[in-house]
Structures are given as C-alpha cells and as structure tokens.
Amino acid sequence: MKVLTTILCMVLFTIIGIAPAQAQDITLRFNDHHRFKIVQFTDIHWKWGKPASNEAHERMAEVLDAEKPDLVVFTGDLVFSKPARECLDKALQATLERGIPFAVTWGNHDDEHDLTRKELTDYLTTKPGNLTTTTEGISGVTNYTLTIKSSNGERDAALLYIFDSNSYSSLKQSKGYDWIKWDQVAWYRKQSEQFTAANDGVPMPALAFFHIPLPEFHEATLGPDAFMVGTRKEKVCSPEINSGLAAAMLEAGDVMGAFVGHDHVNDYITSWRGILLGYGRFTGGATVYNNIPKGNGARIIELTEDSRTIKTWIRIKEGKIINEVDFPADTK
C-alpha cells in the first residue's frame, strides 16, 4: 500500500507539479554501539551549467564514503540558479545514490530562482530517504522534529529540531537577514514541553539545525576566555533582531547544540551558556565566495545514546580530519 501511495504521489507531482509535504516513514536509530552519526552539508550553492559545482558533488561523495552516516542534514542554500529542480537533484545526488536518509532546511537563496520554498519542499517528497516535512500554521516552511530511537528500538532517545530561519527582513526598521519568528519559538517551546513530559519530565538530548546563525554565535566568542575551535574569517551574519530562540533553548534544557551555515568562511565551534554553537563547513564549489582555508568539506556530529555529549569534527579533501571537539569536556 505504501509503494502504491508513493507512486501515486509521484505521478500527481509529475502531472500537475504539486505534492503533499510529507516525509517518508523511516526510523532513525542509535546503532548497536550506541552511536548516531550525522553529516551536515551546507551552502552547496549548486549553479546549473557551472563546472565548479562538481567539486561539491566530489566532496560530498568522498565524505559520505568515509563517514557512512546514519543521517545527512542539509542546512540551506543548496540551490543557486535556475532550473531549481535540476540544481536540487544535483545537490542531493551523492546522498541519494548511497541510500542515506536526509533532512533539509532552506537558506536565503534556495527560493530566489523558479521554485518557492513550498514547491521545493514538495519536490523532496518524491525522493527516497527524504525526512523533510513542514509544520502548518507557523512562519517558514521547514520547521519539524525528528526523533532518534534507542539502540533497542523501544523508546525515543534523542531529538532533532529543524528550523526555517527564513530569508530577509521585511521591516524597514531592520535591514538585512530575517529571524526565526516568535511563533516558531512558541512552537519549539510546546514541542520541547511535550517531549520532556513523555520522557518522564527529563529534557531529551536534542540538537537544532537551521541556516542563518543567531546573534549568540557572536556573543559567545567575546571575552578573553571564550571557547572557540575552527575558522572565523567573517563577521557573524545574523539578524539584527534577537527573537529569543537561544534563551528558549536554555530554559527548556533539551538542546545541547545548534548547527548552522550561511557564513561561508566560518566553521568554528563555540559555547554559549552551556549550549554548543557550531557552523558547518562550506560544502560548495567556486560558484560563490569560498576562500576558507583548506577548501570545502562537511561537519560531522556524533551522539552517544543516553549521554548529553557531542563529538564533532570537520572532514575535508582527501579524507583529512580537522577541528575535533568533544563537548562539553573540551570547554572545561
């Protein structure tokens, strides 16, 4: 029945160009060694007809073959030209070829071409392994949660929050990038309360992924004793408005780390009041500014079942690993 439904959805999309924004029924689970590994790709900026984009595919294929992750998370700006559908196909190709489950949130450039955010999200439903979905009634399109089951499959053991960080401010009083809206923060609070209640009142170990960094990514690096590992070659391009997501996470107590993209020559890890804040590694080719030392790559994030710890590192060309961090141990 599931196969028939999937086929009918794909036919509907092909004929009239729309599909329901529903993720596939895929169970994420800690492995028998009680580990769960995520590869974060960000800012692929695939530009149709630009040979430089092929470097992004080469690096993604190399990283995936080396790491063999349980999940791939794309944190925005996959698409950088028309035709958006074909660019998205190329950006996803390495992941699709290896049959790895994946989740997407959009950046500020993905919907600047010939498909809206909703149309891009609907198109993802035709892809095997897609876990991207939407929450109706709040700002943005790619707001959703993913749960990771325990190694024995009997309970939810960890949680991923995916946020749509939107694009550009629509207010003349505040220029620049948009912010995660208050209704999205309220949605997060409600989700966190429900998951905590279902976990016997104990906040579930969680991570958050979105595209545009929060102002706290800058705040956390201030002061002589600030913890920072990695590259910082540009200012934090966050919104001028702080809508309180980091404060909500601090109060809820579930999110251990938040990971973003957007700033192509930043890939650093820092700590804000006990929450790990991390940039992904720029994954794209030379279709946009990309002068990060040692070239493009990906961030890898590994969780341990029933532990509020994070191991993370960057993998770059030729299998090299840099910037390894064991959180929170390395911040003490």
The reply to whether omega before 20 is within 30° of 0 (cis) is: no
Shortest CA distance to 207 belongs to which of 270, 274, 160? 160
What length is written for the chain? 332
Distance CA 309, CA 19 (A): 38
Q: Are 187 and 236 in contact (CB under 8 A)?
A: no
CATH of 29-331, one of 3.60.21.10, 3.20.20.100, 3.90.550.10, 3.40.50.970: 3.60.21.10
Q: Give the span between the Cα atoms of 173 and 36, in whole angstroms.
A: 43
Structure token pair of residue 287: 């279709």
Q: pLDDT category, 24, cuts 50, 70, 90? A: low
Q: For the segment 216-236, what is each residue's pLDDT rounded down to a tens digit?
A: 999 999 989 999 999 999 999
Strands 71-75 and 144-149 come out as unpaired
- Tokens matching residue 311: 């191991």
Mean of the per-residue pLDDT values of the chain: 93
Entry pTM: 0.93
Instruction: Tell me the β-bridge partners of 326.
Output: 311
Q: What is the pLDDT of residue 287?
A: 97
CA distances to 3, 10, 11, 57 from 6, rounded to whole Å, are: 5, 6, 9, 27
In the β-sheet with 206-209, what is the strand arrangement from edge to edge? 28-29, 144-149, 156-162, 206-209, 255-260, 275-279, 269-272, 228-229
In order of 73, 79, 102, 118, 178, the CA distances from 115 in angstroms are: 21, 10, 20, 8, 20
pLDDT tens-digit map of 119-177: 999 999 999 999 999 999 999 999 999 999 999 999 999 999 999 999 999 998 998 99
